[in-house]
């Protein structure tokens, strides 16, 4: 509601607002929706109200995806699972990784990392230690991290349009999730 009210500040057209808060949540009225779409389509300067629509979400993705996501750090905050605190606290399974399929090769990778975890345990679980460094150096890029991310609709719009057709399935999955957000047409520009 605040973002929609602010969207109308430039024209002092608050009297045309037709959005409302209901017990079920925010409902955007047709007048506000038409203006929001017009401004969103006009670009980031005109659609700056999108920066005031916040999203907080848990995302679990492999390291290789997070490295690409780092391009969009402006306007985001993240709290992640910690490799430094939690790696080695338990043995891993194939479910801890983003493998397209699970066969003997993938199981070998998990078994190798687990052998390094056990080697570190046997050495006394010291940080730093040669065993700890070796473990960190051998964890593959497909290891999944969960991060609680806070961002806004403008950041999501940038990410969506830049990555929705990306060759990585994780980006296509992310784009599909964006399309499920309330009023996602403000992001996707699909009526």
Q: End of a domain among 117, 138, 159?
A: 138
Q: Does residue 111 surpass a pLDDT of 80?
A: yes
Q: What is the pTM of this model?
A: 0.89
Distance in angstroms (rounded) separating the CA atoms of residues 86 and 133: 14
User: Are 46 and 6 members of one domain?
Assistant: yes
Residues 153 and 186: beta-carbon distance below 8 Å:
yes
Q: Is 117 within the bounds of a domain?
A: yes
Range of the domain at 134: 88-138
Q: Is residue 176 part of a domain?
A: yes
Same domain, 130 and 155: no
pLDDT average, residue stretch 151-164: 96
Q: Does any domain span residue 105? A: yes
In a domain, 72, yes or no: no
Q: What is the pLDDT of residue 180?
A: 98
pLDDT reading at 85 higher than 80: no
* 175 located within any domain: yes
Same domain, 7 and 42: yes
Sole residue written with tokens 């999108």: 50
Give backbone dihedrals phi and psi of 58, rounded to 5 degrees, phi first.
-90, 130
For residue 138, name the pLDDT band (cuts at 50, 70, 90).
very high
pLDDT at 17: 97
CA distance 143 to 97: 4
| pLDDT, mean of residues 61-73 | 90
> DSSP code of 9?
G
176 pLDDT band, cuts 50/70/90, is very high
Q: Give how many domains the chain has, as a whole number.
A: 2
């Amino acid at each position: 509601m605040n973002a929609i009210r602010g969207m109308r500040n430039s024209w002092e057209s608050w009297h045309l607002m037709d959005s409302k808060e209901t017990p079920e949540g925010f409902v955007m009225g047709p007048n506000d929706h038409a203006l929001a779409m017009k401004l969103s389509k006009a670009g980031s300067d005109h659609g700056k109200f999108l920066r005031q629509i916040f999203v907080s979400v848990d995302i679990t993705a492999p390291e290789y995806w997070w490295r690409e996501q780092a391009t969009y750090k402006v306007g985001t905050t993240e709290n992640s699972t910690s490799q430094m605190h939690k790696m080695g606290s338990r043995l891993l399974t194939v479910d801890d990784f983003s493998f397209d399929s699970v066969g003997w090769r993938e199981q070998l990778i998990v078994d190798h990392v687990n052998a390094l975890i056990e080697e570190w345990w046997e050495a006394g679980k010291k940080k730093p230690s040669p065993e700890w460094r070796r473990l960190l150096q051998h964890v593959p890029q497909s290891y999944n991290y969960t991060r609680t991310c806070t961002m806004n609709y403008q950041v999501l719009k940038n990410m969506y349009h830049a990555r929705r057709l990306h060759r990585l399935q994780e980006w296509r999955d992310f784009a599909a999730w964006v399309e499920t957000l309330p009023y996602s047409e403000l992001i996707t520009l699909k009526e």
